[in-house]
């Protein structure tokens, strides 16, 4: 059970970047239409001074990718009133085991320690949408949108 296994965030390095990029191939076709490719996400992260991004490991197994924008830089397309969960990707074989939920809780703890009071994200609707996942974590619609995605917020 994943709740008993340790989740850690690790830097993207020359040793793990290819594996992190390949994780995108584990998503269903519907999810691939909703979740940016990890290679694109990593490139965007390196181009943004406001991005914090990491590979997600369950014990010693690479299982995902997470990226947060702290909301302090406006030229990377993220315009938000606080930190924004820019990307969250859990590999297909590890979905449904509570890993994503635990990762979001870890991100929330990290942001609380830095004095933030809310976390934002957005998602597309339709096949492969993570809407139910975010609703279960307490995210509520703000009434705003990022392009064609619904913006949501959770208090920290």
CA distances in angstroms from 94 to 10, 22, 59, 64, 134, listed in the order given: 17, 14, 13, 9, 17
Give me the percent of the chain exceeding a pLDDT of 70.
94
pLDDT at 114: 93
The pLDDT assigned to 77 comes to 62
- 22-35 pLDDT, tens digit per residue, is 999 999 887 887 78
54, two tokens = 């990491």
pLDDT at 78: 65
What is the domain count for the chain? 1
State the pTM of this model.
0.90
Residue 139's domain spans which residues?
2-155
Is residue 67 predicted with pLDDT exceeding 60? yes
**Residue 73 pLDDT greater than 90, yes or no:** no
The pLDDT value recorded for residue 146 is 83
Buried b vs exposed e over 17-43: b needs ≥16 C-beta within 10 Å?
eeebbebbebbeeebeebbbbbbebbe
Instruction: CATH number of the domain at 71, please.
Output: 3.40.630.30
pLDDT for residue 2: 47
Question: What's the mean pLDDT in 125-137?
Answer: 90
């Amino acid at each position: 059970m994943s709740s008993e296994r340790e989740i850690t965030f690790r830097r993207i390095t020359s040793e793990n970047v290819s594996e992190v990029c390949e994780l995108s191939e584990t998503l269903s076709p519907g999810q691939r239409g909703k979740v940016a490719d990890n290679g694109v996400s990593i490139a965007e992260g390196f181009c943004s001074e406001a991005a914090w991004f990491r590979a997600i490991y369950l014990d010693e197994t690479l299982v995902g990718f997470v990226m947060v924008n702290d909301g302090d830089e406006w030229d990377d397309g993220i315009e938000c009133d606080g930190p924004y969960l820019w990307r969250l990707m859990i590999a297909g074989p590890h979905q449904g085991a509570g890993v994503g939920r635990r990762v979001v809780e870890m991100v929330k703890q990290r942001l609380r320690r830095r004095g933030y009071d809310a976390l934002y994200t957005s998602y597309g609707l339709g096949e492969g949408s993570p809407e139910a996942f975010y609703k279960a974590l307490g995210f509520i619609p703000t009434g705003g949108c990022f392009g064609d995605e619904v913006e949501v917020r959770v208090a920290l």
